[in-house]
Copies of this chain bind each other. A is one copy, B any other.
C-alpha cells in the first residue's frame, strides 16, 4: 500500500468517538467529523436539564479526547473536523461537507438519532426534548421560567397549569427526568419559592405501553411505577398523546391535561445522512447491517450506534452507550483486519447488565440474572457513569456536584440562559404574557 488508508468517521457520539480512538494507533489516517466541537455524554443530559450539573460537565472537547492520537511525523493518527456533512456519495466514496468533498477508503456512519414524533401534531412546535446539550439547556430554562411565572401568578388555575410538567415516554429517559424534576422541586426550588404553594406542582408521566422500562423484566417496571408514585409522580399507563398545543396535552382517551410543559422522550429515529436513503432499514429508520457491522453492498462502509439496526441472538440492541462503545471497538478492529487483507469478524455484544436511575435515592437494575431495586442500583448508576466519564477533573467536579446535590439537597446551576431560541421560544412568548395584575400581588 503506497499510502495509509483514509478512514472517515461521521459523528462523535459514543460509537464514533470510540471507533476513532481505537483506530488511533492503527496506522490509518482517521478523520472524525462532527457538527459540534464537543462529545456529549448523553446519559447525564437529564441532570443538565434539571439544574444538577453544568453543561460543561456533560460534554467534553473532542480534540482533548483525541490528543493522544494526533498525527505527528506521519499523517497517520486521528484528526478532527467540525463541520456539517451534506451528503455521502457511497458509490464514489466521498463525503461532501460544507467545506468541500472528502474522499475515503473506509467510512463509519455513527450519526446517532433524532426525535421521532410518532405523528402527534404539535410536538415539534411545543414539545421539549432531551437529545442534545442544547435541548437540555432549553429545558432547564423552560422549567425555571415556569416557576418564575407561577411565583407571581394570582389565578390558581393558571398557576396550576404553569406548575404541571408532563413527560411523554416511560423508558429510561422519561423516568430519569421525572425523578430528577421531583428532586429539583422538593429541594432547591422549594426553598427558592417559599411563598409558592408547591402542592400545586404536578409531574405526570405518560406511557403508551402496559409497563415502564419495557426492555427490563416486568418486576422492575412495577417497582419503578410504585416508586415514582411514592415520590409524587403521577404515572399514566396505556396513555397515548393525540395532540399537543401551547397550553394543553390531549390524550387519545379524551383526557385533557392543562400544561405548558411537554417533555418528549417517546421515540428516536436513526439520523441518517443524505445519500444513504437507498440502504435497507429496519424499525426506527435504522440501517440494517451485517453481523460484521458492514453496510450490505458496501464492504468499506460501517454503521454503528443508533444509526444501525444491530441484532444479537435474534433481538435488536436497545441503543444504550455500552453497545455503541463496543461496536466502536469492533469496527476499528474490522477496519484494521481489512487493511491487512483479512476478513472482518462478527460483532459480539457483551452485556454487563442494565441500570436505570429513578432518583430520590432509588434505581433498578439487572446484572446477569440478578434483579436489583432501591438504593444499590441508584448508587451503581452514579458510580458507573462517574467512572465512564473521561478525565480526572471532570470526575472530581461531577462527584462534588453530586455530593452537594444529594447531601445538601441543593443545586446551584439554575440559570435561565439567555440567547437560546430553539423550541423554547414558543414558551418564552407565552411566559411573557403574564397577567397584568401583578401589582395586586405586590400591593
Contact = CB atoms under 8 A, between A and B. Distances in A.
Interface string A217-253: 0000000000000000000000000000000000000
Interface string A373-402: 000000000000000000101101100110
A439 interface: yes
Say which size band chain A's interface belongs to: 35 or more
A56 B59 contact: no
Contacts of A417: 55, 133
Given A37-B144, A419-B134, A412 B393 contact: yes
B436 A55 contact: no
A56 to B, nearest CB: 4
A67, A415, A416 interface centre (most CB from chain B within 10 Å): A415
Interface stretch (A96-104, A112-120, A318-326): A96-104
A132 B417 CA distance: 11
Contacts of A101: 439
Nearest to A101: B439
A98 B67 contact: no
Interface stretch (A190-198, A266-274, A298-306): A190-198
Contacts of A404: 393
A67 to B, nearest CB: 6
A67 B191 contact: yes
A413 interface: yes
The 4 A-B pairs at the shortest CB distance, nearest first, are namely: A63-B192, A99-B438, A54-B54, A61-B414
